[in-house]
Chain A
């Protein structure tokens, strides 16, 4: 196992005036290069947890170390944000400028990077998300999926070690969703960028290295997708869903077929059923 890049020890966070903490005593360690999906119903604390990772909020108690930095001062926060980028849910509300490439440059401009360096990294980042042809386009002419790719490029240009996606596919159609998830997965595999992927879509979570389910501000379940989704009843109780194949294999097992536990994809299921025939 690689060394942890995110280390949360008993982290809690309570909004001012709130009755109960939004994040409650969470301990979690994420290894460098891991792809972790975070699930949980609305209000389970996942978005707040994301904001803690990016130092947009600081824990009220506990210790959170991101890329070796424990954010205390304002300068620490900027250091954390530099190494941990964030892509939000609404594609319209995170693009700052009227030209695609200038938006990608925004983060680097804030860091005071020299112009030639910005130019190079922006071109690279746009290339990486397949949006080079749109460098001079206006964001308002792009589809939701394309806007999210621009948002990813803007983060990528800052060369972060971690990218947190906070329900970044929730407002997209299936093609946009597939594109953005595909980019995140590729960046994770090829560039070894650690990804924290917050989502409501079980089929996305099924492709992660690890799944963390939050409920009431706490971690309710944790493990590989197979381990987590095998606990079907518990997952449903937590307001989530399990992949269709998992449900089907359960029904088939109930009817006496000898299928192994934890079949998640159509391919796996087809292979097992062909073996039985």
Chain B
């Protein structure tokens, strides 16, 4: 089991007037090769949750396990954990600092203590993987466009060759074409054999891409399961300020109007076919 979390509770500044409970008894499992979506608002605790995946936030022993290693134990080698779990934060382009793209991407591998030849190989591969032109390697990251900068930042994490990649809102702030390209990139990273966890606000995006979803609300897991299982709760989701995909909304409306629509249906193709079945008498 790559990531296993058992009843994780996290309180910020305990014992002060600023005490805040960010997470309350959150449990989750992520299996090898899965594409997991985590959905929730600002302040739902999702940033705190993903910070636990690679030990940036520490828990008590016996709560957070990565590949069987207990991250709560004092003597756990954190660098080894960060080699396994790559974390791409929101707006990661703001963490770039080196003179050239190649040097910036090399930062992670260098911290892992790899030799120069290996670093060079990994940088070249990461640049290719995120779809940047090889000529970008010697440019300053600050000359690139916003979308390209973000790709450099993702390449910097991929160069550590994590087996689990966590991305917090990878498409935030991009234009529609940029969003599409970014989600394609995440999809291709997953297809290359990496376990992916994507934090997102967009039910459309997670519905299209993810195998399973966890919906966080006020530090607790409100719903979990396959997208279809989660989208069944459309009204509860709406109450906590999250929308189901448009097609799922249409399916509900049609069901209420006497159409025969399967529960939890949300993909456009499925909704289209269900409508056609209803109108053409099952043809």
Contact = CB atoms under 8 A, between A and B. Distances in A.
B257 A43 contact: no
Given A43-B145, A266-B253, A277-B278, A244 B176 contact: no
B145 A42 contact: yes
Given A170-B173, A252-B272, A244 B246 contact: yes
B53 to A, nearest CB: 21
Contacts, number: 92
Interface residues of B, number: 37
A276 interface: yes
A175 B272 contact: no
B241 interface: yes
A252 B275 contact: yes
Interface string B177-192: 1111000000000000
B246 A273 contact: no
B162 interface: no
B176 A273 contact: no
A96 interface: no
Contact of A274 (B241, B246, B249, B257): B257
A251 B246 contact: no
Interface in A1-52: 40-43
Contact of A266 (B178, B241, B249, B258): B249
B147 interface: yes
A245 B272 CA distance: 11
B111 interface: no
B146 interface: yes
A177 B257 CA distance: 30
A200 B173 CA distance: 8
A171 B176 contact: no
A173 B272 contact: no
Contacts of A56: none
A273 to B, nearest CB: 6
Interface string B9-47: 000000000000000000000000000000001110000
A172 to B, nearest CB: 8
A248 interface: yes
Given A174-B241, A274-B257, A252 B276 contact: yes
A42 B178 CA distance: 9
Given A171-B172, A277-B278, A248 B41 contact: no
B242 interface: yes
Contacts of A43: 145
Interface string B158-181: 000000000000001111111110
B201 interface: yes
A41 B146 CA distance: 12
Contacts of A223: none
B120 interface: no
A136 interface: no
A247 B172 CA distance: 23
Contacts of A174: 41, 201, 241-243
Given A42-B145, A43-B145, A248-B271, A171 B173 contact: yes
Interface residues of A, number: 34
A225 interface: no
Nearest to B269: A251
Contact of B250 (A240, A257, A270): A270
Contacts of A267: 253
Nearest to A177: B201
A61 interface: no
B173 A273 contact: no
B112 interface: no
Contact of A239 (B172, B177, B259, B278): B177
B146 A42 contact: yes
B176 A266 contact: no
B144 interface: no
Contact of B175 (A42, A252, A266, A273): A42
Contacts of A243: 246
Given A42-B146, A266-B249, A270-B253, A173 B201 contact: yes
A240 B146 CA distance: 17
B254 interface: yes
B134 interface: no
Nearest to A167: B173
A173 B217 CA distance: 14
A64 B107 CA distance: 49
A241 interface: yes
A239 B145 CA distance: 16
Interface string A255-277: 10100000000110110011011
B228 interface: no
Interface of A: 40-43, 143-144, 170-171, 173-176, 200, 202, 239-241, 243-245, 247-248, 251-252, 255, 257, 266-267, 269-270, 273-274, 276-277
Given A239-B178, A273-B259, 19 more contacts: A41-B175, A41-B178, A173-B41, A174-B201, A174-B241, A245-B250, A248-B247, A248-B268, A248-B271, A251-B268, A252-B272, A257-B275, A257-B279, A270-B250, A270-B254, A273-B275, A273-B279, A274-B257, A277-B257
